[in-house]
Amino acid sequence: MSNSMLQIIPQSQETHKSQPKTPAILVIGGAEDKVHGKEILHTFWERSGGTEAIIGIIPSASREPTLIGERYHRIFEDMGAKELKVIDIRDRTQGEDPYYREFVERCTGIFMTGGDQLRLCGLLADTPLMNRILERVRLGEISIAGTSAGAAVMGYNMIAGGGSGESPNRSLVDMATGFGIIPEVIVDQHFHNRNRTARLLSAIAPYPDHLGIGIDEDTCAMFERDGWVEIIGKGTVIFINTKTMTYTNQAQVTSTDPLSLHNLQVSILCHGDRYHLPNHETIPVKCGTQ
């Protein structure tokens, strides 16, 4: 965990308490509820400061950034956020724009929408604006959330695309570089909804010290600063720990050969369940201290 941008403050299991106002990283599997209880979006708003929240919405993954930016703007406005801005980057030079850079110094939360993760990274990776956002996340000063494409960019190794309906094999997934907010995870979204098991297995096979995370729609893995990940929402989150992997053939086979992965530790978690990132422990909802 030494290279993690998510700097974990050690805390024992017993003393873990959910802190509604502390910054967190919310990784959302796409298609989150935007109409009824809006539980996940409400949690992000709360973790960004609630009525004190100053939220920046990054719609750059989408080909309809105006439309999607306005939609989230309205949602967080209705919740009572103090200030909102759509950081509508459509050109890499805008990543130096003083107007946006001033705003990210003041903001308390950043929300990245869905769309195409390659587009999002292409427009923002390594810009002064994004680098400052990532620094403030790393320092624990602000919350960040990403849904769908916005979730995919969380790891250093990013799933850019892929298929399903085949045995796991390297050609089933296209990899690229994400923002590295939680570097050791590889995130897939719309997970069971779009049958992405083989694609996530194919993605993690080359990384024996990583954690594959598959998040269902309307479901969120919320990473806390104390190393705990809490599940919120309607579906499940699967954690695939490759640290226990005793063997994979991935380095020896061609890109279309089937992949073997021996002895993975796998957990499927639901709403309220928690996963300890450094220790790979799980706590069911009923045993929680919250």
Assess 194 for contact with a second copy (CB under 8 A).
yes
Contact 273, 231 (CB under 8 A): yes
Answer for the pair 150, 98: CB distance below 8 angstroms, yes or no.
no
143 is catalytic: no
Q: Which residues pair with 161 in a beta bridge?
A: 174
Closer to a second copy by CB, 70 or 166: give it.
166
Tell how far CA 2 is from the center of its chain: 19
| Stretch binding a second copy (CB under 8 A), from 112-120, 121-129, 176-184, 235-243 | 235-243
How wide is the angle at C-alpha 79 spanned by C-alphas 129 and 42, nearest 5°?
75
Region of 4-12, 67-75, 132-140, 194-202 interacting with a second copy (CB under 8 A): 194-202
Helix (H, G, I), strand (E, B) or coil at 247: strand
Closer residue to a second copy in complex, CB, 108/248: 248
User: How many residues touch a second copy (CB under 8 A)?
Assistant: 42
Binding mask 28-67 for a second copy (x = CB under 8 A): ----------------------------------------
In this structure, what token pair is assigned to residue 13?
């299991």
For every residue of 107-170, DSSP letters joined together read -SEEEE-SS-HHHHHHHHTT-HHHHHHHHHHHTTSSEEEEETHHHHTTSSEEEEEE--SS---G
Q: Hey, is 93 helix, strand or coil? A: helix
190 counts as catalytic: yes
Which residue stretch of 36-44, 58-66, 114-122, 266-274 sits at the interface with a second copy (rule: CB under 8 A)?
266-274
Q: Considering 16, 190, 202, 230, which one is annotated as catalytic? A: 190
The distance of closest approach from Cβ of residue 149 to a second copy in the complex, given in angstroms and rounded to an integer, is: 20
* Cβ-based neighbours of 235, under 8 Å, separated by 6 or more: 29, 191, 192, 193, 215, 216, 217, 218, 219, 270
Structure tokens at 35: 């109409």
Give least dist CB 211 to a second copy, A: 14
Interacting span for a second copy (CB under 8 A) from 19-27, 42-50, 88-96, 197-205: 197-205
Which of residues 18 and 267 has its CB atom nearest to a second copy in the complex? 267
Judged by CB under 8 A, the residue of 21, 70, 197, 225 near a second copy is 197
Query: Rule CB under 8 A: is residue 71 a binding residue for a second copy?
Result: no
Please confirm, yes or no, whether 73 is among the known catalytic residues. no
As measured in angstroms, the least distance from the Cβ of 269 to a second copy is 6
CB 259 within 8 A of CB 169: yes
Exposed (0-12), middle (13-18) or buried (19+): which is 21, by Cβ within 10 Å?
middle
206 binds a second copy (CB under 8 A): no
Q: Is 265 in the site for a second copy (CB under 8 A)?
A: yes
Nearer to a second copy, 64 or 247 (CB): 247
Residues at the contact surface with a second copy, assessed by CB under 8 A: 164-168, 192-195, 197-198, 201, 216, 219, 234-236, 240, 246-247, 249, 252, 257-271, 273, 282, 284-286
